[in-house]
Structure 1
Amino acid sequence: MMRYVIEDTKYCFKYAFDTETGAYVRTGILDDKGRDTGKDPFQASFPHLIDVGIMGHCIHGKTGLCAKAGVGCYQSGLWKEEPNMTVEDFRWIAEQCKGKTNQFALGGRGDPDQHEQFVEILQICRENQLVPNFTTSGYGMTPEIAALCKQYCGAVAVSWYRSSYTLRAIQQFWMQA
């Protein structure tokens, strides 16, 4: 568990985040003596959550299962195929965000849990005090991946694809609870 406080000196407020529970609190704008003025900060110097597209292609979409389930893909997963983000690029982004942001929403074109270096990506997040979250179709979910998610992730959402693999993924997460 890691709790930390970040001071936003540009917009004059502080915020704290608990990587174990996801609890987040922030002050109002602080005056020159460090007292809370009660005024809500309008913005921050750095985002508190960043969406990082680690997936360049989607096995689930390529199979046509999204279309079969009646789910439209906003990422063109049925037609587009690009490489997944490299671990080196991901590490660079994570290191730039350490101590400035709280969470990474892992995404892109496909299920983040199917990235060939998913374990390393989760580890890099935690090394840099970032809590990873993501949404999956559950298509390739395994008990091993579900256990990794319990260990490293703040939240995982399973989209409803009206299929047995979606129900199986939910069940695998449930077994980790």
Structure 2
Amino acid sequence: MKKIILAALALFVLPATVQADHHNETAKKNIVETAISAKFNTLVAAVKAGGLVETLSGEGPFTVFAPTDEAFDKLPEGTLDSLLKPENKDQLVAILKYHVVSGKVPAKTVVTLDSAETLGGKVSIEVKDGTVILNDKVKVVKTDVMASNGIIHVIDSVILPPSK
């Protein structure tokens, strides 16, 4: 009976230990390294094209609202390819900066805010049915992915800065 109880406990404790180890391993990587590990391929390509790798690998801290590859796929056809061209670097950088907040802003703080000042302007924040919504339409789908120099919150669409 003791062996059965111990085996059952091991089933619960082992996954928690593995998860904790993975969390600690991720926190050793900076935001860019974490994005690479998490396979944010399009975001990483955009950060490279925008020349922001060094900045987002730096001391920080930063909070990044990171669009998934599928989020970038929602952009109108040809938009991403156009943004990645060297002649459109300024526009790409403006969009990327609109996803970055200076400082560490964990989910428990995000849900108390009605807006956040990003490096590219103000983003509105609203909580609807337990889901954080940015600028009335972009959903936060995963929170608090820890990096050594900040936090990543995963979003389902690219946030576009207001037109000037």
- Whether TM exceeds 0.5 here: the answer is no
- TM-score class, shorter-chain normalisation, is under 0.3
TM-score (norm 2): 0.22
**Which structure carries more relative contact order (alpha carbon 8 Å, separation 6+)?**
2
Q: Of Structure 1 and Structure 2, which has the larger fraction of its residues in helix?
A: 2
State the TM-score, normalized to the length of structure 1: 0.21
